[in-house]
Amino acid sequence: MAGGWHSHKTLLWSSSPPAINRNNVELGSMIIEENFPLKNLNTFKIGGSARYFCVAENLEDLKKAVRFAYKHSISFFVIGGGSNTLISDGGYKGLVIKNSIKGVSFEEQKDGTTLVSAGAGENWDDLVQKTVEKELTGLENLSGIPGTVGGAPVQNIGAYGVEVGSSILSVETFNSETMVVEILSVKQCFFGYRDSIFKNPFGKSHIITKVVFSLKKNGKTNIIYRDLKEYFEKKGIKEPSVKEAREAVLLIRLGKFPDLNETGTAGSFFKNPIVSEEFFKKLSKKFLDMPFFPAGEGKIKIPLAWILDKVCNFKGKCFGSVCFYEKQPLVLVNTGGAKAKDIMEVSEKIIALVKEKTGIEIEREVQFLK
């Protein structure tokens, strides 16, 4: 599921971090707190403490936080909603920076589009709601995804046939290597399937501060995915409005995904695998009813939930407190008391079994902070 967003910069220590003052540090209006518990900053509700923690409410805070990390030769990690992050039981030895940069503005353009600028620390679904209220098309299928605006481009969140990258005009970042603000065009973000430049080592120095979307007033909504199509067929609606599409997505998600207020989870734990057509042809001889979707030239996407359910028989199963959600096995849940170590061990088992049964090497979508 869409996520907490991260920029992770590792600096050099040999084995343990250098000794620094054990008290909280005041940097102007921003406080750097020591030994800060991270459990309530991620949706799994798991993990130890950060050696240091601060909340960055603006660019200046961000700069101060990064300088602090450099000065003390510690690594830093930027977190948004913590909805795509598994935090190690031993915590994090560096500085965790919670990106809380706010602000949303709308600017109508002569060509009929509206530019929507949103601070990286804004709640993602609140932003989607605001765009839908203004009848702007583009983000409605991404309704109900947890996390922040800054997290959306990192993994190019996608749902019901729409990826956020297709509505983004540019991403403003603070480059922690050069210490300057940069504007990355959509092309420079290299959006791919649940992927972007911000996930690869080359882009890790970019801390997202603002995202600019280009949305159309009352454009055509996308209802090609089965759940949405069936929903509107039942209602006899051929071309739903943006508001109707958002309502439908929220309702469908409610029936399929756990409520983060009640259940510890990071949503989909793995990415759906994309394989070559040739590989898929061989595999489909063994698994005749395996569903598949075209995923670009010569590529096929296989819903991993189907493999976990029908091939591995994992749906609804538990290993201790780590369970496969009964309605969607791609979602791992902490039913209470699970440690990060337990989740990682279960995920290793899943990766190994899927490889053994199908030959597919699956990848985690959730990032592990240790």
Residues binding ligand NAP (CB under 6 A):
1-2, 145, 157-161, 224-227, 256, 267-268, 272, 293, 301, 303, 305, 328, 365
Closest to ligand NAP by CB, 300 or 346: 300
Instruction: Indicate the residue among 121 and 267 with the shorter CB distance to ligand NAP.
Output: 267
CB of 313 to ligand NAP, least distance (A): 18
Distances from the Cα of 103 to the Cαs of 166, 212, 327, 361, in angstroms?
22, 12, 36, 41
CA distance 249 to 343: 28
Per the structure block, which two tokens stand in for 260? 């983060």
Q: Rounded to the nearest 5°, which phi and psi values hold at 166?
A: -75, -10
Q: Which is catalytic among the residues 194, 246, 253, 364?
A: 194
CB of 272 vs ligand NAP, minimal distance in Å: 5
Nearer to ligand NAP, 225 or 279 (CB): 225
Considering beta carbons, is residue 135 or 227 the nearer one to ligand NAP? 227
Shortest Å distance, C-beta 141 to ligand NAP: 8
At closest approach, how far in Å is the CB of 360 from ligand NAP?
Answer: 14
Comparing CB distances to ligand NAP, the nearer of 48 and 258 is: 258
Taking the complex as a whole, the smallest distance from the CB of residue 203 to ligand NAP amounts, in Å, to: 18
Of 7, 100, 143, 268, the active-site residue reads: 268
The answer to whether 67 is a known catalytic residue is no
CB 331 to ligand NAP: min, Å: 7
Query: Of 117, 119, 125, nearest to 214 (Cα)?
Result: 117
Could you tell me the smallest distance in angstroms from the CB atom of residue 54 to ligand NAP? 27
Is the Cβ–Cβ distance between 193 and 296 less than 8 Å?
no
Which backbone phi and psi does 148 adopt, to 5 degrees?
-115, 170
Of residues 299, 257, 274, the one with CA closest to residue 160:
257
Q: Is 326 tagged catalytic?
A: no
Do residues 154 and 208 make contact, with C-beta atoms less than 8 angstroms apart?
yes
User: Residue 356: helix, strand or coil by DSSP?
Assistant: helix
Nearer to ligand NAP, 90 or 161 (CB): 161
In whole angstroms, what is the distance from residue 127 CA to residue 246 CA? 12
Q: Which residues of 195-228 are buried (b: 16+ CB within 10 A; e: fewer)?
A: bbbbbeeebbbbbbbbbbbbbbeeeebbbebeeb
Length of the chain in terms of residues written: 370
Q: Is position 365 annotated as part of the catalytic site? A: yes
- Min separation Cβ 156 and ligand NAP, Å: 8
SS3 (DSSP) at 133: helix
- Comparing CB distances to ligand NAP, the nearer of 293 and 368 is 293
Nearest to 302 by CA among 310, 311, 294: 294
φ, ψ for residue 127, nearest 5 deg: -65, -45
Helices (H) and strands (E) in the chain, counts: 8, 23
**Active-site residue (options: 122, 163, 244, 365):** 365
Q: Which three-class secondary structure state does DSSP give residue 56?
A: strand
In this structure, the number of other CB atoms found within 10 A of the CB of residue 48 comes to 19
Nearest to ligand NAP of 121, 146 (CB atom): 146
Helix or strand (DSSP H, E) at 168 = strand 168-175
CA-CA distance, 256 to 303, in Å (whole number)?
A: 15
Q: Looking at the annotation, which residues are catalytic?
A: 194, 268, 365
